[in-house]
Chain A
Amino acid sequence: MIAPNDAATSAATIELNHAARWYGNVVAVNDISFSLGPGVTGLLGPNGAGKTTLLHMLAGFLAPSAGDVKVLGRRPHLDPAVYRQIGLVPEREAVYPFMTGRDYVRFNARLQGLPNADEAARQAISAVGLEDAMDRAVGTYSKGMRQRVKVAGALVHDPQVLLLDEPFNGMDPRQRLAMMELLGRMADAGKTILFSSHILEEVERVGSEILVIVAGRLAASGDFRAIRALMTDRPHTVTIRSSDDRRLATALMGDPAVFAVELRSDSLAVRTAHLSVLRLLLAGASRKAGVRLLEVIPADESLESVFEYLVRR
């Protein structure tokens, strides 16, 4: 559950209160406040938005330059004992290449002080479905396998909070689905899981709650469907070239799906909130007006433009 305001909820396991982090003159995370409880939350944002900085602040690797960051009521950058309850999957691929998968997960279990590191490692490896490769050196693993062994190392001590930085990178669709199911099961067991991604569809499939971060700021937070609706219903600009732009503009003006029409020297710019409606409308209106459509170019549909729109709101 996300509480995107200053007040932390009683069930909050992760709390940020006006947290900021800058490097010299560069602000990586800018005045972010939210609190999270158990469940899967996606941290969505374009590359360079500050997702990794935010996760590293939560993991205690970066002290906040301003504000406060708490995990389970403790400040992780000052308190290594909190790592008993935190599992971290970093974005960087590096895993000790000379270790086997089993060695690596057992090493993590040992450092967590688990009494039966062998058994804990076996269970974690089984959870990520890597039993067949566990006695091979990690250096021989594919990118997807390396991601999975990192996840096994992070959850070997059954942490309350799991932080994952771009965990689906390099996984094939089947591995991705299995990992999504695993995160879902952990969330059902009451764990707080925060994972970052720059891919909308990944977040859509796993997290019902999302945080959208753009240029270091929290652009949106809450239920995925509501934010998705905001993203799809945003105004789009479509550029059209036709045999008679002026006549086509007249034909489109009357429709409620069209917000604005701008006649340019060699094209027509149409603004709408409903791309699909506009497509149908264009076909009918051009036929009725006897205008031939030469080119229809939707404006920038990149994720970055979606994020920019959310920031402006």
Chain B
Amino acid sequence: MTAIPHSTSVSLIPDITLVTLRQLLGRRRAVLLLLLSAVPVLIALLYRAAGADKVDGFAGGVLEVLCLNLILPIIAVLFGTAAFGAEIEDGTIVYLMAKPVARWAIVAAKLLAAISLTVILAAGSVVISSAIAIVHLEDRGLSAMEVYTTAMVVGSICYVALFVALSLFTQRALLIGFGYVLIWEGALSNLLPGIANLSIRQYAIGAGQIFYDLAPERARLEPEAAVPLAVIVVVAATVLATRRLMRLEISGETD
């Protein structure tokens, strides 16, 4: 077995990332996700127009419940599972697999593309809506924006890494991904507090507390625990995805 030089593979990551970006943006769902991420901005405009001035109200309702709990996982699951899933579905994956490119580099490029789009839409939504609704109010407004922006970036990376790996193990990645977000993180984590240790939402909001201890009642994990757990999820998911891709089997359509 001949090794492929890492330098060659690294230099190809931008090429594969760009193609993946175009694939992800070319799908109709990209427009729907853009509209979804615009919802908090609309609410922020209304909030501002109505003269509301409660930082905690906006942060707890819009930034946390709407952006972090709902919009972020929806965007991440759709981009994350499509990064490989769309190529496996339409058969173009063979053009990547039949190349002398290290499999970790292909995974890295897919992650880079899906994470970039998720961060731009999810974190972008938080930044813009916060800037409209609460940043001008007081210092806490700016702090809230920083906390939730950090949470969105950390959450984007973790969720996408998980869903990219998942899409290489099962064709039902989308369904399982939504199941994880809605049932595990949404319903069960409220009933069983211990689940926080296995919840990307909690890693994200926990990591957001690095700068400001803004929402201690909602963040069940301290940053000291949340950040290492988030790193473990990303590393483990990336390693698993690479190992899976090395053994990925592609059968024909006809026989």
Binding site for B on A (CB under 8 A): 23, 28, 47-53, 55-56, 59-63, 74, 78-84, 86, 88, 90-99, 107-108, 110-113, 153, 165
Interface residues of B in 1-44 (CB under 8 A from A): 1-4, 8, 12, 15-16, 19, 22-23, 26
- Contact in complex: A62, B23 (CB < 8 Å): no
Which residue of chain A has the shortest Cβ distance to B8 in the bound complex? A113
Q: Give Cα A267–Cα B22 distance, bound, in whole angstroms.
A: 66
Q: Give Cα A62–Cα B97 distance, bound, in whole angstroms.
A: 12
B100 at the interface (CB under 8 A from A): yes
Q: Which residues of B contact A96 (CB under 8 A)?
A: 19, 22-23, 92, 95
Q: Which residues of B contact A84 (CB under 8 A)?
A: 100
- Contact in complex: A79, B2 (CB < 8 Å): yes
Q: Please name 13 further chain A to chain B contacts, defined as beta carbons within 8 Å, in addition to the given A61-B251, A79-B2, A112-B100, sorted by A numbering.
A: A55-B252, A61-B248, A61-B249, A61-B250, A62-B249, A74-B1, A86-B98, A88-B94, A94-B92, A108-B95, A110-B12, A111-B95, A113-B100
Shortest Cβ gap from B219 to chain A (Å): 42
- Contact in complex: A98, B26 (CB < 8 Å): yes
How many residue pairs, one in A and one in B, have C-beta atoms under 8 Å apart? 113
User: 25 A-B pairs, CB-CB below 8 angstroms?
Assistant: A23-B251, A48-B255, A49-B255, A51-B254, A53-B255, A59-B94, A61-B97, A61-B249, A74-B1, A74-B2, A80-B4, A80-B103, A81-B3, A82-B100, A84-B100, A88-B98, A90-B94, A92-B90, A93-B91, A95-B92, A96-B95, A108-B95, A110-B12, A110-B15, A111-B16
B52 at the interface (CB under 8 A from A): no
| 7 nearest CB pairs, A to B | A52-B252, A92-B91, A81-B2, A61-B250, A111-B99, A94-B91, A94-B90
Which residue of chain A has the shortest Cβ distance to B15 in the bound complex? A110
- Contact in complex: A111, B101 (CB < 8 Å): yes
Q: Which of A48, A56, A94, A113 contacts B251 (CB 8 A)?
A: A56
Q: Which residues of B contact A50 (CB under 8 A)?
A: 255
Q: Which residues of A contact B252 (CB under 8 A)?
A: 52-53, 55-56, 90-92, 165
Q: Give Cα A298–Cα B252 distance, bound, in whole angstroms.
A: 35
Q: Which residues of B contact A95 (CB under 8 A)?
A: 92, 95
- Contact in complex: B4, A81 (CB < 8 Å): yes
Q: Give Cα A60–Cα B100 distance, bound, in whole angstroms.
A: 12
B253 at the interface (CB under 8 A from A): yes
Which residue of chain A has the shortest Cβ distance to B5 in the bound complex? A113
Q: Which residues of A contact B101 (CB under 8 A)?
A: 80, 111
Q: Give Cα A92–Cα B98 distance, bound, in whole angstroms.
A: 14
B102 at the interface (CB under 8 A from A): yes
B96 at the interface (CB under 8 A from A): yes
- Contact in complex: A59, B98 (CB < 8 Å): yes
Binding site for A on B (CB under 8 A): 1-4, 8, 12, 15-16, 19, 22-23, 26, 90-92, 94-103, 247-255
Q: Which residues of B contact A51 (CB under 8 A)?
A: 254-255
Q: Which residues of B contact A23 (CB under 8 A)?
A: 251
Q: Give Cα A90–Cα B98 distance, bound, in whole angstroms.
A: 10
Shortest Cβ gap from A205 to chain B (Å): 22
Q: Which residues of B contact A88 (CB under 8 A)?
A: 94, 98
- Contact in complex: B253, A56 (CB < 8 Å): no
Which residue of chain B has the shortest Cβ distance to A87 in the bound complex? B98
Which residue of chain B has the shortest Cβ distance to A163 in the bound complex? B98
Shortest Cβ gap from B29 to chain A (Å): 16
Q: Give Cα A47–Cα B15 distance, bound, in whole angstroms.
A: 36
Q: Give Cα A107–Cα B15 distance, bound, in whole angstroms.
A: 8
- Contact in complex: A91, B1 (CB < 8 Å): no
Q: Give Cα A49–Cα B252 distance, bound, in whole angstroms.
A: 12
Shortest Cβ gap from A80 to chain B (Å): 6
Q: Give Cα A92–Cα B97 distance, bound, in whole angstroms.
A: 15
Q: Do A62 and B250 contact each other (CB < 8 Å), given the known contacts A81-B2, A81-B100?
A: yes
Q: Which residues of B contact A80 (CB under 8 A)?
A: 4, 97, 99-103
- Contact in complex: B12, A47 (CB < 8 Å): no
- Contact in complex: B23, A47 (CB < 8 Å): no
Which residue of chain B has the shortest Cβ distance to A21 in the bound complex? B251
Shortest Cβ gap from B38 to chain A (Å): 24
Shortest Cβ gap from A104 to chain B (Å): 8
Q: Give Cα A63–Cα B250 distance, bound, in whole angstroms.
A: 10
Q: Give Cα A26–Cα B174 distance, bound, in whole angstroms.
A: 28
Q: Give Cα A96–Cα B98 distance, bound, in whole angstroms.
A: 15
Q: Which residues of A contact B1 (CB under 8 A)?
A: 74, 78-79, 81
Q: Which residues of A contact B19 (CB under 8 A)?
A: 96, 99, 107
Q: Do A62 and B103 contact each other (CB < 8 Å), given the known contacts A90-B91, A98-B26, A113-B8?
A: no
Q: Give Cα A142–Cα B103 distance, bound, in whole angstroms.
A: 32
Q: Give Cα A60–Cα B103 distance, bound, in whole angstroms.
A: 14
Q: Give Cα A81–Cα B254 distance, bound, in whole angstroms.
A: 27
